[in-house]
Structures are given as structure tokens and as C-alpha cells.
């Protein structure tokens, strides 16, 4: 018995050493491909996250395959036509002319990729539960074409554990094993659409793998395209860091949103209070109130964390309260508009209200989760005749929760004279705010933009 046990140990040891050597060889080969820029990188989802990543990887010298289920996007990319205006037309023209970029709706094109990044939406369901269907479907598609030794990197924001608990089993379902046949990591996107002077290459990148080899391989790929890459202990750490970043913002925005009506009733301008507090050179970071949260991150990501926390028996009261505060801001804006109209002797029913700006943030055409949608719907529910002006959005696009059949009106004196109230939702630089100040009768300002207008303002301005 002892003799047999003793003889079996070297065999087992050799097997382990051989497996370890194969893993080392596989990861070393993958790292070498990325360091030498001889890899092909696939990007699944060519939206606000995926397309900037395509640019970064292409600029790094990689051959890039861009995959999307939207045939319209693919057709526009092939023709060099921009569908994300804030990225500029030169980007898509450059990609269209490059032999190193292939846009496609055919998943089989991903079979030649040495790395595939998943950049798909992670929205909320009807009851604020995570909707990971896009991630799941994308992972299953990739599992069907993934070649040996390739890296899969999830970039979509999600709760801690998604990469290991959802993506890993799908990729290993056919008998493959992470570290032996492929590599898997999480590297959260940090895009800020419309921000000037900073591009994907300059934004530090977090990387956390399912195992150490996956972390090293993923870091090698991103280091080829990103100036600073920070490796973390695991995919879960990277997932949690991304959730923390956006929850931090949501909670602090909720604080000033909660203070706004309190201080307003005291006759105190919260914008002046924030400006005053900002003179402190330490211990304070300015956050600003608004008409509600928009975009794909801040209104959504904290709910992914609260969902996962319940699985472990925790109730994230602070985060959920912040969500309630931020979500009530569109109704507060509409209430302030009704009060302002009433003070002018006008009822809300039948009042003509022009909403200025429907994008969720300034100087872009992104309307994802925009508070303008709820504000317009609430105004219409109260009987107002609503129109909008946005220099970046010509037609209100159909959304998951809203279908608002409106087109942007020209901003001119005639249209302003016909309005009973102008509600400022987005402070685009391209809007002539001085014109609004001169020609409108009533302005409900949610962004404090009218306070920055030089010259005489004839309109009555109410902050909301």
C-alpha cells in the first residue's frame, strides 16, 4: 500500500507540473502577441463604450473586429458615417479606410480574435433588478467561436461576481477551462461621453482576472493601448471598484438634491452655498443638483450593488435612499414649474412649455435615462402642451420606458414668445441662453445656467 502510494506521487506531481507549464506557455504566448501588437482584438457592442475602445485598440496597432447586432451601425461604420456625434466623423472615416478594422454583424468573424471585449448594456428590469441578458447572450455567442488561448474581457458595469458566476460557467460549459484553454477578466469601462481633452487611452484602467494568468494576459492587452493599467486581486475587486465609483457620485448628488428644496424654502440659493463651500481646499468636493440623474451609469449601477447585497443578507439603506432622492427630482421640477405658472396667473393645463435640452448631460446627443423624458411626461400628464429644443438631438428617440413623438423646435424669439414657460434641463454650450433671457417670459432653471448669462435678463427666473 505504501509502495503504491509513494509511486503515485511523482506521477501526480508530473501531471500538475505539466499542466502548469502548459498554462504558462499559453499565457506567455498570449502576452507576447499583445506586447508585439500582433493580436486581433474583437469588441462586442459598438456604442458609447465599445467604439472608443475600438479606436484605442486600433491606434495601438491591433487588428480590430467590431461586432454589433445593429446592422445600421455596421453599415454606417463601413461608409465612414458617424452615429455618435461626440466622437467626431474623423474617427469613423479613419476606421472605414483602415484594412485593420472590420465592422460586422457576423459572430463568426470573432473566431480569429485573440481577445474579445464585451461592451454591452446592463440595464435595470421593471423592478430595478439587474438585466444581464445582453451580457449572457454575448457570452454564449463568444463561447461558440472562441479560439484556444484567447482572452475574454467583460467591460460592462455589473455587480461583483458576474464575471465568475455568469460568464465563466458559460465559457467552460463545453469542457474548456479558464487558464488552460482561455483567459477571462473584468476591466470596467470609464468613458465620460462629451468630456474634452481626455480619451480612452488616457483614462487609467483597472484589470482583475478570474485567475492570476488571466489578470496578466488582460493587463498586457490593455497596456498596449492604455497609458496606465492597475492590476487588482480579482475580477470581483474590479467589479466592486466600478460600482463604488458610480455609487459615490449618486450618493453625493442625492445630498445636494435633497438640500436644494430645503434651502430654497429658506430663501437660500444652493448654488451659492456650493460655491462658498468649494473655497475650502480640503475635505470638500463639489457636487451639483439637477433635474434628475441620466446616463447609463449613475442612475443604474447602485441598484446592481443593492441587488447583490440582498443575496448576502444586507440592506443598503443609504444607497437606496439616495436613489429615491434622485428619482424624485423630475417631479420636483414639474411642481416648481406649476407653482411658477400659478404665480403668473396661469394654470398648468393648456400652458405651453418648452423644455430646453433633452440629452442627459451637456454637449452630447446621448439621451440614455435622461430625466427630460419623465419631466416631459409629467408635464403632459398635467395638461401642458410640451415641446423641446436641443441643438444635438433632432428627434426624441424611442426609449425603453418612453415614446415621445416630438421634434426639436428652432430656438428663436417667435417660439419663445409663444411659450408660457421654458424649463432648462440640459445646459448645452450651443444654446443661446442670452436669447432665452431676453425673449422668454418665465424660465425654470435646473442648472443655474441663467445666473451665468451676461447682460440684462428680462425673463422671470425660477430655480428648480
Q: Report in angstroms the alpha-carbon separations of 183 from 40, 56, 214, 282, 325.
A: 15, 21, 5, 42, 41
How far apart are the C-alpha atoms of 214 and 237, rounded to whole Å? 14
How far apart are the C-alpha atoms of 302 and 307, rounded to whole Å? 9
Full strand arrangement of the beta sheet holding 40-44:
101-104, 63-67, 40-44, 115-118, 150-154, 182-186, 205-209, 229-231
Q: What are phi and psi for residue 261, nearest 5 degrees?
A: -70, -30
Q: pLDDT at residue 197 above 90?
A: no
CATH code matching the domain that covers 243-325, chosen among 1.10.3720.10, 3.40.250.10, 3.30.930.10, 1.10.1040.10: 1.10.1040.10
User: And the C-alpha cell for 338?
Assistant: 406649476
How far apart are the C-alpha atoms of 38 and 114, rounded to whole Å? 9
Q: pLDDT at residue 7 above 60?
A: no
Q: For 286-414, where are the E strands, in sequence order?
A: 352-356, 385-389
Q: pLDDT at residue 286 above 60?
A: yes
Mean pLDDT rounded to a whole number for the chain: 93
Band of residue 194 on the pLDDT scale cut at 50, 70, 90: confident
Rounded to the nearest 10 degrees, the angle between the axes of helix 270-277 and helix 235-265 is 120
292 sits in the region (left: phi over 0; alpha: psi -120 to 50; else beta) called left
* pLDDT score, position 10: 47
Band of residue 262 on the pLDDT scale cut at 50, 70, 90: very high
* pLDDT score, position 296: 83
Q: Where are the domains of the chain?
A: 2-233, 243-325, 329-463
Same CATH topology for 2-233 and 329-463: the answer is: yes
The answer to whether 39 and 221 are in contact (CB under 8 A) is yes
- According to CATH, the topology of domain 329-463 is Rossmann fold (3.40.50)
Band of residue 16 on the pLDDT scale cut at 50, 70, 90: low
How far apart are the C-alpha atoms of 121 and 368, rounded to whole Å? 11
The answer to whether 153 and 162 are in contact (CB under 8 A) is no
Worst-scoring range by mean pLDDT, 6-20, 326-340, 404-418? 6-20
Q: Which residues are catalytic?
A: 297
What value does the mean pLDDT take over residues 8-22?
54
* pLDDT score, position 277: 98
Q: 2-233 — its CATH code?
A: 3.40.50.720
Of 13 and 143, which is predicted with more confidence?
Answer: 143
The 10 Å Cβ neighbour count of residue 431 is 20
Residue that the C-alpha cell 456650493 belongs to: 274
* pLDDT score, position 8: 44
Q: Please calculate the CA angle 411-415-420 and round it to the nearest 5 degrees.
A: 115
Worst-scoring range by mean pLDDT, 230-234, 298-302, 441-445? 298-302
Closest CA to 353 of 333, 368, 371: 333
* pLDDT score, position 173: 96
User: And the C-alpha cell for 40?
Assistant: 486581433
How far apart are the C-alpha atoms of 388 and 28, rounded to whole Å? 56
* pLDDT score, position 455: 86
pLDDT digits (tens, 9 = 90+) for 138-160: 999 999 999 999 999 999 999 99
Amino acid at each position: 500500500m505504501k509502495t503504491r502510494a509513494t509511486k503515485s506521487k511523482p506521477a501526480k506531481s508530473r501531471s500538475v507540473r505539466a499542466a502548469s507549464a502548459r498554462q504558462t506557455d499559453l499565457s506567455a504566448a498570449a502576452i507576447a502577441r499583445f506586447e508585439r501588437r500582433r493580436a486581433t482584438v474583437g469588441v462586442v457592442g459598438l456604442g458609447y463604450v465599445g467604439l472608443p475602445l475600438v479606436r484605442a485598440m486600433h491606434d495601438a496597432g491591433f487588428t480590430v473586429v467590431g461586432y454589433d447586432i445593429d446592422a445600421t451601425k455596421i453599415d454606417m461604420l463601413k461608409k465612414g458615417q458617424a452615429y455618435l456625434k461626440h466622437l467626431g466623423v474623423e474617427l469613423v472615416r479613419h476606421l472605414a479606410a483602415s484594412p485593420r478594422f472590420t465592422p460586422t454583424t457576423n459572430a463568426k468573424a470573432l473566431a480569429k480574435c485573440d481577445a474579445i471585449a464585451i461592451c454591452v448594456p446592463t440595464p435595470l428590469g421593471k423592478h430595478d433588478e439587474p438585466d444581464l441578458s445582453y451580457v449572457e447572450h454575448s457570452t454564449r455567442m463568444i463561447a461558440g467561436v472562441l479560439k484556444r488561448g484567447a482572452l475574454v474581457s467583460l467591460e460592462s458595469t455589473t455587480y461583483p461576481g458576474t464575471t465568475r458566476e455568469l460568464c465563466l460557467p458559460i465559457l467552460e460549459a463545453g469542457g474548456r477551462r479558464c487558464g488552460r484553454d482561455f483567459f477571462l477578466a473584468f476591466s470596467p469601462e470609464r468613458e465620460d461621453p462629451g468630456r474634452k481633452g481626455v480619451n480612452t487611452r488616457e483614462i487609467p484602467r483597472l484589470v482583475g482576472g478570474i485567475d492570476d494568468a488571466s489578470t496578466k494576459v488582460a493587463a498586457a492587452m490593455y497596456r498596449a493601448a492604455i497609458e496606465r493599467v492597475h492590476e487588482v486581486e480579482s475580477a470581483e475587486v474590479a467589479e466592486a471598484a466600478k460600482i463604488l465609483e458610480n455609487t459615490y457620485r449618486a450618493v453625493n448628488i442625492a445630498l445636494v438634491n435633497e438640500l436644494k428644496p430645503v434651502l430654497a424654502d429658506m430663501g437660500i440659493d444652493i448654488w451659492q452655498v456650493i460655491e462658498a463651500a468649494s473655497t475650502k481646499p480640503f475635505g470638500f468636493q463639489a457636487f451639483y443638483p439637477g433635474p434628475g440623474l441620466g446616463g447609463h451609469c449613475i442612475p443604474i449601477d447602485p441598484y446592481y450593488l443593492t441587488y447583490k447585497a440582498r443575496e448576502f443578507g444586507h440592506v443598503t439603506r443609504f444607497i437606496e435612499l439616495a436613489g429615491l432622492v434622485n428619482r424624485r427630482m423630475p417631479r420636483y421640477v414639474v411642481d416648481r414649474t406649476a407653482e411658477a405658472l400659478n404665480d403668473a396667473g396661469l394654470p398648468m393645463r393648456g400652458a405651453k412649455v418648452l423644455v430646453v435640452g433633452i440629452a442627459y448631460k451637456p454637449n452630447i446627443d446621448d439621451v440614455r435615462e435622461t430625466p427630460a423624458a419623465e419631466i416631459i411626461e409629467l408635464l403632459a400628464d398635467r395638461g401642458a402642451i410640451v415641446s423641446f429644443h436641443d441643438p444635438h438631438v433632432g428627434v426624441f428617440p424611442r426609449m425603453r420606458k418612453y415614446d415621445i413623438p416630438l421634434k426639436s423646435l428652432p430656438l428663436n424669439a417667435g417660439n419663445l414668445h409663444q411659450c408660457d414657460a421654458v424649463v432648462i434641463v440640459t445646459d448645452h454650450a450651443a444654446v443661446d441662453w442670452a436669447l432665452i433671457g431676453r425673449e422668454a417670459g418665465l424660465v425654470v432653471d435646473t442648472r443655474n445656467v441663467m445666473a451665468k448669462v451676461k447682460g440684462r435678463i428680462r425673463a422671470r427666473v425660477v430655480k428648480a
